[in-house]
A and B are shown apart, each in its own frame.
Chain A
Amino acid sequence: MTKVTMTVNGKSVSGDVEGRTLLSSFLREDLRLTGTHIGCDTSQCGACVVHVNGEAVKACTMFAVEADGAEVGTIEGQANADGSLNVIQQAFQDHHGLQCGFCTPGMVMSAAALLKDNPKPTEGEVREYLEGNICRCTGYHNIVKAIMAASGQDVTAIAAE
């Protein structure tokens, strides 16, 4: 067992982990932050996307020990300080960008990383960026629309609800 210490959603946390413990497992099982979801075994689905030192990372592709000393952000830390939904979360609700909700944390975390690097992405750029996030419910229409809306773009021309 190895002791790891990291900052998760602004709070310092530590734990003893096996070398094989994935960051996703550490978050879910040790820290009980179960908003980070596990949807596949092969780092394809993106339900576990978190932020590590400001970059979007699939938490199942990283060992917990590799995140020692890192700043980690998860879906649980995304809302505004007063508990209200942040701009991206609010856009997902406003535009019905989620159904079962399972892929949603990863989608929101990926969207945040995209908009940090590309504040006004085109439809094509959003779709390409989401290559690593699979959703089975929405057909992606409202996810793409929500992310474009969150970037401040007018989406009223995009197919009506």
Chain B
Amino acid sequence: MPKDTGIGAATTRREDVRFLTGRGQYTDDIQTQSECAAVFARSTVANGKIKSIDTSAAAAMPGVLAIFTGDDFAEVGGNPAGWLINSRDGTPMHEPKRPVLAHGKVRHVGDAYAAVIAETVAQARDAVEAIEADIEELPAIVDMKGALASDNYVHDEIGTNQCFDWGWIEDNRAATDEAIKNAHHVTTLELVNNRLVPNAMEPRCSIGHYNPGTDEYTLHTTSQNPHLTRLLISAFVMGIPENKLTVIAPDVGGGFGSKIYHYGEEALVLAAAKKLGRTVKWTADRTEAFLTDAHGRDHVTKIELALDAEGNFLAFRTETMANVGAYLSNFSTATPTFLHGTLMAGNYTVPLVYVNVKAVFTNTAPVDAYRGAGRPEATFSLERVIDKAARELGMDPIELRRKNFVKPDQYPFASAAGLEYDSGNYDALMDQMEKVADKAGFEARRKESEAKGLLRGFGVNAYIEACGIAPSNLVGVLGSRVGLYDAATVRVNATGNLSVMVGAHSHGQGHETVFPQVVAEMLGIEAESIDIVHGDTSKIPFGMGTYGSRSLAVCGSAVVRATEKIINKAKKIAAHMLEASDEDITLKDGVFSVAGTDKSVSFGEVALKAYIPHEFPLEDIEPGLEETAFYDPANFTYPSGAYCCEVEVDPETGKVRVDRMTAVDDFGNVINPMVVTGQVHGGLGQGIGQALVENTTYDENGQLLSASYMDYTMPRADDLPFYIVDHSKGNPCTHNPLGVKGCGEAGAIGSPPTVVNAVIDALQSGGKNVTHIDMPMTPHRVWSAMNNA
């Protein structure tokens, strides 16, 4: 049995070797002889009418090969929204067209209205400067509240800036209102979930290639889901037949959501490649990434929590404005609704939840799913208002949460927000958190901080999320226009090693190491003989890619199902070879044996027999050993956790330092604990970044003030501590074959409210009556709150 490389082994990652030696191949690393460069002309105003675009001077510049404007794409389709949301009154959301290049109007700073193709990037860049665009600047729509009241529209043709007005669960609205009206106590909090830029370190890049001999296109692109990108380009935007388009996402340098979506640049390089018969490459610079990658979060929320005299939760009610930016990115309408509203019961037995979300168009970059996607917003609202309620009622914040937790004997649990949680034990997680975080030692540490003139605070959080995004039937009912299964093909080669083609895409998650661990465990062979193939639509089955912590829960389950088929067929072949019946064959440590005898054949011998089928029962068994499985789960998975944070606040400056950060998570079963821990670390870094330093700022004219690393604060190594991470208290998912729940987003979901709760605790311990500070809690904001309290 492969103890060192199977399920549960903290095996080091095989993909690391190429990354550590500079041999990774990211999209921009691909260079070809016939390559030419695309550079985009982007709007410098947030809202403007395109009156004319004169490209004649630019076209005469050295090296220029072609120039495209919105007119060139007027007849092709738009980039669609993947999820239909209906408003409370039953009317469908507004879906304005999102063209490849802006046409008629530009709608945010960075909106591309033309593209130059030239021999070199420098020549294309020079020519972009020579394009004479007459764009009449119009008043910008930036603030969401103002947008809803305005008769100035981002999209004139729809006559409103409201995309939809969604209620969840609408049938609970009246009862929730009544519960809040009659409650013993109601805690109210208004908060902002700050707008973030995902900032994968690799900027987006796309390379288009066209072969006139076969009429085939190839797109290399920075994508988390190449099949989805191909589908969108083929079925909606360009009309290129799917079988004539190959999409390849090679090594991808992080995504965090921003590379789920199809972007217009991908369509442009394909169109240019066909027109010129050349390979056309576009690589974003960092400011382009800030201006055009889909942003995250950006909710403004009022939340109310009704409690009885004993602290039992009676109802949560929220009103949220969610910014969708200037155009609907592919999953922008699902993020503030079904990835947010359905989680608004949290880990609690609260009987009533009502969520209202108004999605608002503004003259800003599109906003879509960013690590956690809706669930961080839900958790932040819930866990902040619960903390505030505890203070108002004079209750311990941990005890208040425990009092309302779903208990282990209540699963499956139907939450008041419409989900069915399958497994969990929130009290056990809280117990473990108190233990590994040494909560008992907090008071002593607080005294040490006080001796240094610093205020120490302890903040806590409990979260649940819906992962393994997932069941096609369920998401279909909820408005999804795609299925959310995944797929895997296991190919046993004649010489006994394996290639496993998967629909999931690895851009840091370690699939090349972790997926083989699963197959190795099932077959009883070494993981080293198993390779993963991903990211190329011409090689992999139609899977939906990687986001929503779904790779292992959904695609990993498909790998299990395909491997089960391999084992079943291999047993039949072994039975023939051993002259036994199928049901007497057992597989252990890579050897097929006849039960109760010493007769056996190795896995490798069976593989060879499958491909050299001499003396083979061809009437019963096909040659070859290759199987495909599609897996569509019965439910979401429900990771949960208990987090705590200790901060030190300098009362002189307002500077916050995270001293200790503890994450105790229930991810169900764990395949590779090293990789899982690393995923949590990354989420914690991003969550602490959101809480303390990151912010996306547009001015009143819609100019993005934070469009570089000199202006947008990325967390650095010295902003963050070593973390304490524990996932030893997992309760397996009950409905997928691995019992796994997903771990990619947890850290970013659980940490922001934990940090804010800790800062509020610190300030209150210092006698400051501060009940809330919006993120990011910069020294200026903290100092101001303290000195105005």
Contact = CB atoms under 8 A, between A and B. Distances in A.
Interface of A: 18, 20, 28-29, 32-42, 44-45, 47, 74-76, 78-79, 85, 89, 92-94, 96, 98-105, 108, 123-124, 126-128, 130-131, 133-145, 158-161
Nearest to A129: B717
Contacts of B24: 35, 101-102
13 contacts: A28-B29, A34-B25, A37-B202, A45-B201, A99-B678, A102-B254, A103-B201, A126-B717, A130-B718, A131-B716, A139-B682, A145-B722, A161-B674
B290 to A, nearest CB: 10
A99 B716 contact: no
B440 interface: no
B411 interface: no
A131 B253 contact: no
B16 A98 contact: yes
Interface string B179-214: 000000000000000000001111100000000000
A15 B685 CA distance: 42
A160 B663 CA distance: 12
A159 B12 contact: no
A89 B507 CA distance: 19
Contacts of A100: 200-202, 251-254, 507-508
A72 B710 CA distance: 27
Contacts of A139: 681-686, 688, 715, 720, 723, 747
B710 A44 contact: yes
A135 B202 CA distance: 10
B529 interface: no
Contacts of B686: 136, 139
Contact of B508 (A99, A123, A130, A144): A99
Contact of B23 (A28, A35, A36, A145): A35
Contacts of A144: 717, 722
B708 interface: yes
Nearest to B709: A44
A101 B15 contact: yes
Interface in B671-728: 673-675, 677-678, 681-686, 688, 708-710, 714-718, 720, 722-725
Nearest to B714: A134
Contacts of B252: 100
Interface string B30-53: 010000000000000000000000
Contacts of A36: 22
A96 B287 CA distance: 30
A107 B777 CA distance: 28
Ranked 7 nearest A-B pairs via Cβ: A35-B22, A139-B685, A101-B19, A102-B253, A100-B508, A44-B709, A99-B508
B761 interface: no
A146 B714 CA distance: 21
B708 A40 contact: yes
A29 B718 CA distance: 33
Contacts of A133: 717
A126 B747 CA distance: 23
B285 A41 contact: yes
Nearest to B718: A127
A90 to B, nearest CB: 8
B510 interface: yes
A153 to B, nearest CB: 14
A102 B723 contact: no
B21 A78 contact: yes
Contacts of B720: 127, 139-141
Given A40-B286, A158-B722, A159-B725, A75 B716 contact: no
B722 A101 contact: no
B31 A105 contact: no
Given A20-B122, A41-B285, A158-B722, A98 B19 contact: yes
A39 B252 CA distance: 13
A1 B286 CA distance: 27
B234 interface: no
Interface of B: 10, 12-13, 15-26, 28-29, 31, 122, 199-203, 251-254, 256, 283, 285-287, 507-510, 673-675, 677-678, 681-686, 688, 708-710, 714-718, 720, 722-725, 747
Contacts of A76: 21-23
Nearest to B509: A99
Contacts of B708: 40-42, 44
Given A96-B678, A130-B717, 20 more contacts: A32-B31, A38-B283, A45-B286, A47-B201, A76-B22, A93-B17, A96-B675, A98-B19, A99-B682, A100-B200, A101-B20, A102-B202, A103-B253, A130-B716, A133-B717, A134-B716, A135-B717, A136-B254, A138-B685, A161-B10
Nearest to B251: A101
Nearest to A83: B21
A32 B29 CA distance: 8
A127 B717 contact: yes
A94 B355 CA distance: 46
Contacts of B678: 96, 99, 137-138, 142
B193 to A, nearest CB: 19
Contact of B20 (A32, A89, A128): A89
B203 A138 contact: no
Given A41-B287, A102-B202, A92 B722 contact: no
Contacts of B21: 35, 75-76, 78-79, 85, 89
Contacts of B16: 92-93, 98, 101
Contact of B709 (A40, A101, A124): A40
A123 B722 contact: yes
Given A34-B29, A100-B508, A101-B251, A75 B22 contact: yes
Contacts of B19: 98, 101, 104-105
Contacts of B717: 126-128, 130-131, 133, 135, 140, 143-144
Contacts of A33: 22
Nearest to A90: B20
Contacts of B254: 99-100, 102, 136-137
A58 to B, nearest CB: 12
A150 to B, nearest CB: 12
Nearest to A131: B716
A104 B28 CA distance: 16
Contacts of A42: 286, 708-710
A136 B22 contact: no
Contacts of A145: 722
A74 B10 CA distance: 30
A123 B723 CA distance: 13
A137 B710 contact: no
Contacts of A103: 201, 253
Contacts of A85: 17, 20-21
Contacts of A128: 717-718
A42 B509 CA distance: 28
A96 B718 contact: no
A39 B203 contact: yes
Contacts of B25: 34
B724 A131 contact: no
B554 to A, nearest CB: 20
A38 B28 contact: yes
Give the one of B22, B508, B715 with max A CB within 10 A: B22
A89 B674 CA distance: 17
B546 to A, nearest CB: 12
A96 B12 contact: yes
A94 B12 contact: yes
Nearest to A74: B22
Nearest to B673: A161
A158 B681 CA distance: 13
B16 to A, nearest CB: 4
A70 to B, nearest CB: 19
Contacts of A29: 31
A128 B716 CA distance: 9
A42 B24 CA distance: 24
B730 to A, nearest CB: 16
A33 B22 CA distance: 8
Nearest to B289: A40
A115 B686 CA distance: 27
